[in-house]
Amino acid sequence: MGGCHSYPSATKVDKKSLQPPDFSSEKLGINNNNLEERPYLQQQYVCQLITHTDMLAFTALPPGVDKAEWLASNTVAFFKHINLFSSALSEFCTPTTCPTACGPGNTVYVWTDDHGRKLKCSAPLYFDYAMSYVQELLTDEDVFPTKAGSVFPTGFIFLVQKGPGVQNF
């Protein structure tokens, strides 16, 4: 299994690439014949951040629930949601439109293969590598046991919280 790492880029930030995407109805494939107003698609609402949510309370371990079991369950659910989200973005983020896997602060993400080689790749390919890596972990019975009475491995909580080899994922 490989892993991913991020490095600050030596190039300047492209301000245009940090702008919110254009969610015009033509690009979203919305039927313009329907004259009904959809305020949730207006730019001012699409670009709003969720700022009034207490994420600590939202993600707190419920009383009486095993922490490892709770983390495993939520990790699988999170993985499934990210997979759905990536499917929705795949039309807009292609190797041509997203030739480099980069993030905030002009950080460039590179994948490290099984032989320790760092691979600079397109955002979709990087994401595919990362999702395949996580999928391997999720289906490994030694890491994510699914049978009743199975014990989680030593270091499981650290593994899930930090993600071995998957930084900034």
The per-residue pLDDT for range 50-80, each reduced to its tens digit, is: 666 667 777 788 888 888 988 898 889 989 9
pLDDT at 112 over 70: yes
What mean pLDDT do residues 1-21 have? 48
Q: Which residues contact 147 (CB under 8 A, 6 or more apart)?
A: 141
Residue 47 counted as domain residue:
no
Q: Are strands 3-8 and 102-103 parallel, antiparallel or unpaired?
A: unpaired
Residue 129 counted as domain residue:
yes
Residue 9 counted as domain residue:
no
This prediction has a pTM of 0.62
What mean pLDDT do residues 19-32 have? 47
Domain count, the chain: 1
**Average pLDDT score, the chain:** 75
Name the more confident of 98 and 8. 98
HSE, side-chain direction, 13 A CA sphere, residue 150: 15
* Domain boundaries, position 118: 63-162
Tell me the CATH number at 85: 1.20.140.30
Residue 58 counted as domain residue:
no
Residue 143 counted as domain residue:
yes
Residue 144 counted as domain residue:
yes
User: Which helix (H) or strand (E) covers residue 110, if one does?
Assistant: strand 107-112
